Homo-oligomer: A and B are copies of this chain.
Amino acid sequence: MQRYFAKQRKDDIFILEKEDYHHIKTVMRFKDGEKVQVVLENTPYLCCIEDVQKEVKIRLLSQIEKTEEIGPEIVLLLPLLKEQKMDFVLQKATELGVHKIVPVMTERSIIKLKEEKVDKKIERWTKICKEASEQSYRTDIPEITEIMTYKSMPNWEGLKIVCSTTEKAKTIKSSLQKVTNCARIVIAVGPEGGLSEKEESYLTGIGFEAVTLGNRIMRVETVPIFILSILNYERMR
């Protein structure tokens, strides 16, 4: 069943984004009486579509039980990548449960964003995450922060790991398995060309553990997907 995130609720009617109404009428071509799910403030509801020919009303029918597990907050420090790769990582990371994405300007990031284009970019990235959240039935949308550098980012509490190209012995598995319970996991991955030595040593200096992902050589956009997959796996019974 199609799921939408609502902006607000007035009595039994949910108010969606303008483009969601377009999606309902023109893309999905829903008819009166058809059902959709709507999420407001992390709570999913079963709703029914009314008056599709005029203004489209989304009426609450019942609340839906949440099935999401409670786990650590997953924060991904993601270097600016080329547009297609960036979009890909945002979509897949959302499917795989990321909570917060921090776009990072790194030394070797090929992409340099002009100041005036930053807001538009973040808006676009947020939209990709919203759509992926709808598709994967999440009740929250990952937060995309402003673009930071490693030096300008807050001092995260929790388990912090950086995917290293030089560390050969200490695997990400040894790092994850040693921690049985933590409130937050922060993951730093490299851009194309990797993190510089300076960046890596800055990160380890502020408490990040440098780990290897093993012998496989993966493309830059595959790494976050790999890590988020194993984070899900670690929490599986």
Residues of A within 8 A of B (CB): 67-69, 92, 95-97, 135-137, 171-174, 214-219, 222, 225-226, 229-230, 232-233, 236-237
Contacts and interface: CB of A to CB of B under 8 A. Distances in A.
A189 to B, nearest CB: 14
Contacts of A233: 173, 229-230, 233
A233 B97 CA distance: 18
Contact of A226 (B67, B216, B217, B229): B229
What 4 pairs between A and B have smallest CB-CB spacing? A229-B229, A230-B233, A173-B236, A226-B229
Given A171-B237, A173-B237, A226-B96, A136 B218 contact: yes
A78 B171 CA distance: 30
Contacts of A230: 229-230, 233
Nearest to A227: B229
Contact of A216 (B95, B172, B217, B237): B95
Contacts of A135: 217, 219
A69 B215 CA distance: 8
Given A69-B215, A92-B222, 7 more contacts: A95-B222, A96-B218, A136-B219, A174-B237, A214-B232, A226-B229, A229-B233
A96 B216 contact: yes
22 contacts: A67-B215, A95-B216, A95-B219, A95-B222, A96-B218, A135-B219, A136-B217, A136-B218, A136-B219, A137-B217, A171-B237, A173-B236, A173-B237, A174-B237, A214-B236, A216-B232, A222-B225, A225-B229, A226-B229, A226-B232, A229-B233, A233-B233
A81 to B, nearest CB: 16
Which of A174, A214, A229: most chain B Cβ within 10 A?
A229
Which of A67, A135, A137, A219: most chain B Cβ within 10 A?
A219
